[in-house]
Homo-oligomer: A and B are copies of this chain.
Amino acid sequence: MLKITRKVEYALIALRHIQNNSSGTVASTKEIATTYGIPHQLLAKILQQMGREGLISAVKGPNGGYKISANLNEISLKDFFEKIEGPLGLMDCYFNSDCNQLKACNILTPIQRINQNMRDLFSKTSLQEITQ
């Protein structure tokens, strides 16, 4: 409960690795996967997704790989989580209105408050704080 997924952890590890790479060169999926013991194909998909989200950009072909293409200081952890995993909330009913218990639920209001606190926490933390 309340865990980040491996997908997000792999994404963060890769992002930090790419950022700390010697300038001028790109970091390949293979290099990152072997360094941290991440399944290659899975990491590839995650990097492709981050590419589509504009966080990194790809260089194809031999000696190819990825480089950072966004200002990680301007992206919050909340936004990053939502780019990678979709809507962020303690419970489905925060976003998904067809939650079957919503009518009878007696804790909706207080839970929404706690939920907002958690979103605020991740909103005021930048990606850079993890990758720097």
Contacts and interface: CB of A to CB of B under 8 A. Distances in A.
Interface of A: 1-5, 8-9, 12-13, 16-17, 20, 35-38, 77, 81, 85, 88-92, 100-101, 104-107, 110-111, 114, 117-118, 121, 125, 129-131
Nearest to A115: B4
Given A9-B91, A20-B106, 10 more contacts: A1-B8, A2-B88, A3-B91, A12-B107, A13-B106, A17-B106, A36-B101, A38-B101, A107-B131, A110-B129
A91 B4 contact: yes
Number of copies: 2
A109 B106 CA distance: 39
A104 B2 contact: no
Contacts of A121: 117-118, 121
Candidate in A2, A90, A105, A114 with the most chain B CB atoms within 10 angstroms: A2
